[in-house]
Structure 1
Amino acid sequence: MILIGISFFGWYLSDFVIHSFREENFRTYSKIAFNAELKDIFLFMGLVLSWNLKKRNFR
């Protein structure tokens, strides 16, 4: 599960970098992406990491 989350995060981060370099204004694109979807990815990764930590601690 953690590998899927990390690979998804890597794919999303690489997609963000590719699109940000294509845009005219990197700062504006970064702000829009962070407000729209990027923060959801960070929240998802936090959820996956905390779920795996709890799962390992209670075995």
Structure 2
Amino acid sequence: MVETVELTSLDSIDNFIHQNKFSFLYISRPDCGVCHAVLPQLRELLDKFPHIKLGYI
């Protein structure tokens, strides 16, 4: 399964974007059931595209 990088600050988000040619930022809230349900499906999909790096906000 694709590695997820947790991003907790604007600097870490900016660094993640600049360090990866293709980056996908997934924005979620702790109490969002839909966000938590979709994340595993997204990880599975991104397994097919290893050049895209997943950042979790």
Higher helix share: 1
Task: Tell me the TM-score normalised to structure 1 length.
Answer: 0.36
Task: Tell me the TM-score normalised to structure 2 length.
Answer: 0.36
Higher relative contact order (CA 8 A, sep 6+): 2
Higher strand share: 2
